[in-house]
Amino acid sequence: MNAEKTDIRSLSDDTLYEIRKQVVAMHLAGQGRTRIASHLQLSYSGVVKIIKLYERPGNVVPAPAIRGRKNGQQRLLTADQEQALKGMIASQPPTAYGLAHQLWCREAIVMLVQQQTRIALPLRTVSHYMERWGYASSQLQNPDLAKQKIQEFRSKKQQTPAAPELCWLSRKLPPTLDGQIGEIISVINGRGSLRWLCLPVTSNSTDVQLFLRGLLLDSKKNLLVLGLKKEDVTGLENMSLELAHSRLECVLEQDVLATDADAAKQPPQISSWHFGSTGI
């Protein structure tokens, strides 16, 4: 029974290079191609190819070529399409394009791409585009810090089935506004789900209120937002919401970042608003 031939496509680059060196060494020692193929359990045509590559000018053992597609090759979106989509995300919220989202997230980008290009992108592919455009969670947020603070806060507060979803708010200079002064407001929850909004001008308390309103409308859950500044919560009781019976709780940034010793002296102050027909 013939020994099973080695499938060199399944080998690592280092292993493949070592096999090529063995082929060349046996060839230089005067052994025939058939014997080499039999001894190394390679196909005859594979041995012939390696020797031909070696015998090109220079007589060098051929190193494995870089595998996989080249950077940018076989992308579903063209460079012009990517640039246009980046500009749309940076300048307007999803509602400006008739999308059923108040804030940007992976699902909103899927809808925007479908609307503008007729291309249906999987969520996983959208994650790669987000990273390339500067909108991945690691670029807009500190996800490790967010998860840590959310977990710490959750462990100190008794949780009930109706407990609000915790999320961490952050502000950052935008990656795609061509040097304009502005900010991106974003939140990330304990599962790493990210939502954000680009603001071409520096955000103020009104912008934060609009962001929180959109966050409640998109999430359709009661929320507890960590990391807000004092000025952010000014006037929240007057925030208008179409979504009834929504509860928003907020913890200021200095309270979230306080040490355990500080928290023992003065527990975090939670501000709470209940919107809808039942009032505050």
Q: What does the pLDDT look like over 149-205, one tens digit per residue?
A: 888 888 776 566 567 889 999 988 765 555 556 788 999 998 899 999 998 776 677
More confident call, 241 vs 150: 150
Report pLDDT digits (tens) over 195-205. Answer: 999 987 766 77
Whole-angstrom distance, CA of residue 247 vs CA of residue 194: 20
User: How far apart (Å, rounded) are the C-alpha atoms in residues 140 and 231?
Assistant: 22
Q: What's the pTM?
A: 0.66
- Please provide the average confidence, as pLDDT, over all residues in the chain: 80
Q: Kindly state the average pLDDT of the residues 34-43.
A: 90
- Going from the N-terminus, what domains does the chain have, and what CATH number goes with each? 1-68 (1.10.10), 79-133 (no CATH), 142-275 (3.30.420)
Residue 254's contacts (CB-CB under 8 Å, 6 or more residues apart) are none
CA distance 80 to 59: 44
